[in-house]
Amino acid sequence: VVNAERACETEPDENTAVLVVEDEVLIRLMIADALRAQGLKVIEASDGDEAMCVLQSSLPVHLVLTDVRLPSKTDGLGLARFARAARPDVRLIVASSHHVDGDIGGVADAFFAKPYNVRAMVETVRKLLSES
Amino acid sequence: MWQAGSEPAKIAETVLVVEDEVLIRLVIAEYLRDCGYKVIEAANADEAVLVLQQTERRIDVVFSDVEMPGSMDGFGLAQWVRANRPDIEVILAGSVARAVDAAADLCAGGSVPKPYEPQTVHDRIRRLLAGRTPREGRFGDASVRPS
């Protein structure tokens, strides 16, 4: 994924796509930039409803990174459950600044505490993608 | 795509894309990235203002939908930019002819009728930035109105 000289690829299926779901724009931007710097294709969603819209489309998504708390009908855990059912091959990372009740392990492949450690998060994304 | 782990040789001009429909936003954002721009995505005007308030962040053009939920629509955002970041060009995209006409009066960058082809947006941005002088940036191209 980290090869240089990936010239103007226009076919989305030639990219590994990460869906980043975060309602705080500056945090979303920081994460998206860090993942794009790794050569990953990043789809940005500002809440759970936008993310559902992406997951219901035909767009390739290989990994979802979502905040638990989202200002939408669908929160991060609901989104993770939906993604698990709709796209079983998608890897899931859930992040929260608060303790999360319930069985995260049953829903997500990894959990991150917020504020994000961007470097660790990028490493986890790459590790999960390399396993899939 | 950018080369991984390194900045492009030329510092990319930055476009802030403001659009509340995620599938439209990601298509135009990806297209502009493929054209070589750095693209920042905002889902509404409130998010855009948070980005624009970071004055150390380089932004050359705001490309915004007119109709958006939130405390401000595209017109409000254009007015905010004019008042607070006058060095930044604004292009508005609207699906209502009247709104597009008003946008043309409000923004030096003019307007693009929706639905738009990504190529049209790129052409508009390219011409706007090409016509910009380094220190004064608000004398862009003529506007395009829906036929």
B86-144 residue pLDDT tens:
999 999 998 766 666 666 667 777 788 888 899 999 999 999 898 876 544 443 333 33
| Strand-by-strand arrangement of the A63-67 sheet | A41-45, A17-21, A63-67, A91-96, A110-113
- Residue B82: predicted pLDDT: 94
ipTM for the whole complex:
0.84
- Token pair for B144: 């395009």
Report the C-alpha gap between B131 and A107 in whole angstroms. 52
Q: Is B117 exposed, middle or buried (0-12, 13-18, 19+ CB in 10 A)?
A: exposed
DSSP codes, B46-109: HHHHHHHT-TTS---EEEEESS-SSS--HHHHHHHHHHH-TTSEEEEEESSHHHHHHHHHH-TT
CB contact (8 A) between residue A43 and residue B26: yes
List of chain A residues whose C-beta atoms are within 8 Å of the C-beta of residue B34: 8-10
- Token pair for B56: 């150390």
- Token pair for A61: 């998504």
Amino acid at A79: L
Where is average pLDDT lowest: A71-85, B8-22, B38-52, B102-116? B102-116
Hey, is A86 helix, strand or coil? Answer: helix
Contact A75, A69 (CB under 8 A): yes
Within 8 A by CB and 6+ apart from B134, the residues are none
Report the C-alpha gap between B137 and B80 in whole angstroms. 16
Residue of B nearest to A32 (CA): B40
- CA–centroid distance for A27 within its chain: 13
* Helix, strand, coil percentages for chain B (3-state, nearest 5): 35, 15, 45
CB contact (8 A) between residue B1 and residue A2: no
CB contact (8 A) between residue B2 and residue A37: yes
Hey, is A111 helix, strand or coil? Answer: strand
Closest approach of A99 to chain B, Cα-based (Å): 27
- Residue A4: predicted pLDDT: 41
A39-70 residue pLDDT tens:
999 999 999 999 999 999 999 999 999 999 99
Q: Is A66 exposed, middle or buried (0-12, 13-18, 19+ CB in 10 A)?
A: buried
What's chain A's average pLDDT? 86
Global pTM? Answer: 0.83
Query: Pseudo-torsion of CA B129, B134, B137, B140, nearest 10°?
Result: -40
Could you say which of B4, B25, B30 has the minimum Cβ distance to residue A39? B4
Closest approach of B50 to chain A, Cα-based (Å): 8
What's chain B's average pLDDT? 82
Residue of A nearest to B24 (CA): A54
